[in-house]
A and B are shown apart, each in its own frame.
Chain A
Amino acid sequence: MSEYVLELKNIAKRFGGVEVLHGVSFGLRPGEVHALLGENGAGKSTLIKVITGIHQPDGGEIFLNDKQVHFDDPLQARLAGIAAIYQELSLCPDLNVAENIFLGRQPTTVGGSINWRKLYSEADRLLTSLGVHLDLKAKARSLSIAQMQSVEIARAFSLNARILIMDEPTSSLTLKEVAELFGLVRRLRDEGTAIIFISHRLEELFEVADRVTVLRDGSYVDTRLVKDVTRDDLVRLMVGRTISNLFPKQDVKPGEIALKVEHLSLAGIFEDINFELHKGEILGMAGLVGAGRTDVARAIFGVVPPTSGTIQIEGRQVEIKSPQQAISLGLAYVPEDRQLHGLIPAMNITSNISLPILKEYARRGWLQDKAERSAAFSAARQMEVRANSIWQLARTLSGGNQQKVVLAKWLSTKPRILILDEPTRGIDVGTKAAVHALMSNLAAEGIAILMISSELPEVLGMSDRILVMHEGQMTALFSRAEATQEKIISAATQTIKTVRAL
Chain B
Amino acid sequence: MHLPPLNRPPEKPMDTDIDPQLVPPLLRLRGISKRFSGVRALDRVDLDVRAGELHVLFGENGAGKSTLINLVSGTFPPDEGTFHFAGDAIHNFTPQRARAIGISPVFQEFSLVPSLTVEENLFLGREVARSGVLRSGQMRKRARALIDELGFDLDPSRRVDDLSRAHQQMAEIAKALLGKIRLLILDEPTASLTERETGRLFELIARLKSQNVGLIYVSHRMREIRALADRVTVLRDGRHIRTLDAATSTDGELVELMTGRKIDLLFPTIAHEPDKLMVDIENLTLTDGSVCDVSLHARAGEITGIAGLVGCGKSELIRAIYGIEPTASGTIRIDGAPYESPAPRRSLKRGIAYFPANRIAEGLALSRSIRENASMTVLDLPAFARFGILRQAVERTRIAGIMAQLQLRPPNIERPAGALSGGNRQKVMLGRALTRELTVFLFDEPSVGIDVGAKLEVYEFMKRLVEAGAAVIVVSSELPEVLALSNRLYVMHHGRIAAELTGAEKTEQNVLSSFFRDHLTAEVA
| A-B interaction | no
Chain A residues at the B interface, C-beta cutoff of 8 Å: none
